[in-house]
Structure 1
Amino acid sequence: MRIVADENIPLLDSFFGDIGDICRVSGRTMTAADVQNADILLVRSVTRVNQALLEGSRVRFVGTCTIGTDHVDRQWLSSNRIAFSAAPGCNANSVVEYVLSVISLHAERRGVANWSKLSVGIVGAGNVGGELAHKLDRLGFDVLCCDPPRAEQENGDGQEFVSLEDAMACDVVTLHTPLTREGDYPTLHLFGRERLAALREHQLLINTSRGEVIDGSALLGRLEEPNAPAVVLDVWEHEPRIHAGLLDRVWLATPHIAGYSLEGKVQGSEMVYQALSRYMGLPARKQAGQFLPEPALAKLSFTSAAEEMDSANIAIRSCYDPRRDDARMRLAMSLPTDEQAPAFDRLRRDYPVRREFSSVKIQLKGTSKSMQDTFRALGFKLKL
């Protein structure tokens, strides 16, 4: 059994080593020749999986260790009886923690002492957007969710949805949609010139979904105008070729790593491993938890003298501070033009270990119930 896999998928040997012989290749440059003799193909979002890649190969199972599937021609796979599995929700919490850290920095930058006074509009309430809404609600934020496909399908049952215009009126607007080019609700350039013009200086726009959801040229034009919003981009049009002018104008820039916590990446591998095991009729005995190493930061302690928001900010940024990724990104993009795209991919390939909030135990001595509730809502483990 021959397995061809993106070299950036973590724990390949641990999960798949006893299923077949693993051949690691670059996901960005993977070709039909690379997969010609493969039985199993494992990818991430940078590989286009379609007829051009797979026709004539012996691949019978394709797994993507990612939430998104817009890089996969699922109809062609189905018509050629090639089994497929994704990892929906695997890194949702990682993206949520990225957004929470960004909001924390934004509140501090604007002088907002209580970050929950900021309203948040979530565009796309799937695995990531839904989890973000849940955490923000527990933290006391005013949250508005816009998801027209879900609103239509659920027909008013359960969660309440608002219009895109209502979501865009919030202090923070964060995008969590798939990339769709057709249908009733396409998201390609969902944020074009007109919608970007509606955003104002006090607002924050975050995109961790797909780069093409925002029209990059229109965004650059808007950021060159007065009263432009603050913008945080983790995803970019035409990755890995980043528009230098746009990079210079956004507040924070990161190289498509919002979902790159170790827990999120390992869970993606585990979910595809489980699907492959079911496909092959094998027992799925391995779990992500058995492979996670001890975190570098295991415990933080706060006393009764600690302020709630200051303590939360310290804990959040001890686990993840996007300004570090922003600095690395800008250094990489300062290279000569022909070296920038490979540098972008290296930032992702060589991404440092980042652990989620749940890996840290928070010791609270004599603190308020409100402070305890905040840390619980964020996902930290508590020791009282």
Structure 2
Amino acid sequence: MADKPKVLVTRRWPEAVEAKLKELYDVTLNESDVPMTADEMRQALMDYDAFCPTVSDKVDASVLDVEGARTKIIASYGVGYSHIDTDAAKKAGFIVTNTPEVLSNCTADLAITLMLAAARRVGEGERELRAGKWTGWRPTHMIGTRVSGGTFGVLGFGRIGREAAKKAHFGFGMKVIYFDAFPVKPELAAETGAESRDSIEAVLAEADVVTLHMPGGKDNYHLINEARLKLMKPTAILVNTARGEVVDGNALAAALKAGTIGGAGLDVFEGEPKIIPALLECENAVLLPHLGSATLSTREDMGWRVMENLEAYFKGEAPRDRVA
């Protein structure tokens, strides 16, 4: 019987997925769940047939610049892959895969959660109550914003953006507008009656809520900056469940403090897990620790999707989710 392929997993995955990996492969798990260093990742590429990082592992050109790598497939756990230098991966001959589709609904759920939490000042209210500062109901206490019937602006009308649009439209009667850098099939927009706008700026100026669903990386770095924040309504809410680097955090903090926009709901941050102090000071920002896909069923589905890609590769077939 042939030896099982050697597979390295960089962080802890759901128990059921890890158990299945152990059945199929000679797998090494990161029992401590401590992030690997660049040197450890480089060594892994030399020692294993498959390398399975997550979105929190920075697999840059320096990691991929190894001579005689045993690894040929980098099967990433997560839909985003801006943490991997795909150009360097292609140059070095690595196949890179991700896990699309399976986390769309959960991430869209969280976008709506952040919209509501920011609009209704949920974080502020809970902090006040837990601190023992609530003095009782009164007509002018902690007035928020009604989102029902408002305009829901989507930047990046892919799978997750469309799922968020459905929830906003059918759940809260919101008009949906969107901008996407790539053409969107008319039937996909028709599901929610979504109307296309010809620029990011047009969406920002019109929407009551703007939710971000584009990839990270250099092409979208600080896409939301000081100038664009100034285009938004003073009551508008910005939601980011995409990638932290899409938003200039310092510019956003300044806009929140100045009342340029009404609030923000953020699940991702540039340089996470570090958060810039200015954002932590904003009472009108709801901040979550990257929970977009954090349900057990979704995290398991992400693991199964990685394993589908691995199985195809080791059979000599093309992995369905190849991105490089």
TM-score by length of 1: 0.65
Question: Which of the residues 96, 105, 108 maps onto 1:93?
Answer: 105
Counterpart residue identity of residue 95, structure 1: T
Distance 2:52 2:7 in 1: 7
Map Cα deviations across residues 284-326 of structure 1 (whole Å, 9 max, x no partner): xxxxxxxxxxxxxxxxxxxxxxxxxxxxxxxxxxxxxxxxxxx
Shift of 1:39: 1.3
| 8 Å CA contact retained: 1:37, 1:58 | yes
- Counterparts of 1:120-199 in structure 2, within 5 Å, are 120-139=152-171, 140-150=173-183, 159=189, 160-162=195-197, 163-168=199-204, 169-181=206-218, 186-199=219-232
- Counterparts of 1:41-52 in structure 2, within 5 Å, are 41-52=51-62
Flag as ranges the 4+ runs of structure 1 deviating above 4 A.
Answer: 106-113
Q: Structure 1 unaligned runs (5+)?
A: 284-384
Distance 2:267 2:178 in 1: 21
Distance 1:52 1:178 in 2: 22
Q: Secondary structure at the match of 1:224?
A: helix
Shift of 1:274: 0.8
Residues 157 and 262 of structure 1, relative CA distance in 2, 3 Å threshold:
closer
Q: Secondary structure at the match of 1:189?
A: coil
Distance 1:6 1:211 in 2: 21
Shift of 1:7: 1.8
Shift of 1:130: 1.7
Distance 1:21 1:61 in 2: 15
Q: Which one scores higher on RCO, CA 8 angstroms, separation ≥ 6?
A: 2
Shift of 1:2: 2.0
| 8 Å CA contact retained: 2:104, 2:160 | yes
- Counterparts of 1:127-276 in structure 2, within 5 Å, are 127-139=159-171, 140-150=173-183, 159=189, 160-162=195-197, 163-168=199-204, 169-181=206-218, 186-249=219-282, 250-276=284-310
Q: Secondary structure at the match of 1:22?
A: strand
Residues 52 and 60 of structure 1, relative CA distance in 2, 3 Å threshold:
same
Shift of 1:209: 0.8
| 8 Å CA contact retained: 2:117, 2:265 | no
Alignment partner, residue 129 of structure 2 = none
Alignment partner, residue 327 of structure 1 = none
Distance 1:243 1:107 in 2: 22
Question: Which of the residues 18, 22, 25 maps onto 2:27?
Answer: 22
Distance 2:276 2:253 in 1: 9
Map Cα deviations across residues 129-188 of structure 1 (whole Å, 9 max, x no partner): 12212333333321111112235xx6x78634213223212111111111142xxxx311
Q: Secondary structure at the match of 1:8?
A: coil
Residues 138 and 226 of structure 1, relative CA distance in 2, 3 Å threshold:
closer
Distance 1:171 1:21 in 2: 51
Counterpart residue identity of residue 222, structure 1: A
Question: Which of the residues 71, 89, 107 maps onto 1:77?
Answer: 89
- Counterparts of 1:349-364 in structure 2, within 5 Å, are none
Q: Secondary structure at the match of 1:236?
A: coil
| 8 Å CA contact retained: 1:91, 1:261 | no
Alignment partner, residue 126 of structure 2 = none
Distance 2:53 2:35 in 1: 7
Distance 1:205 1:240 in 2: 20
Q: Secondary structure at the match of 2:289?
A: coil
Distance 2:305 2:298 in 1: 11
Distance 1:7 1:141 in 2: 39
Shift of 1:105: 3.4
Residues 75 and 112 of structure 1, relative CA distance in 2, 3 Å threshold:
closer
Quick one: percent identity of the two aligned structures?
24
Distance 2:60 2:261 in 1: 39
Distance 1:138 1:24 in 2: 42
| 8 Å CA contact retained: 1:9, 1:65 | no
Shift of 1:83: 2.6
Shift of 1:125: 0.9
Distance 1:78 1:219 in 2: 35
Shift of 1:51: 4.0
Residues 180 and 13 of structure 1, relative CA distance in 2, 3 Å threshold:
closer
Distance 2:18 2:316 in 1: 17
Distance 1:228 1:103 in 2: 13
| 8 Å CA contact retained: 1:27, 1:43 | no
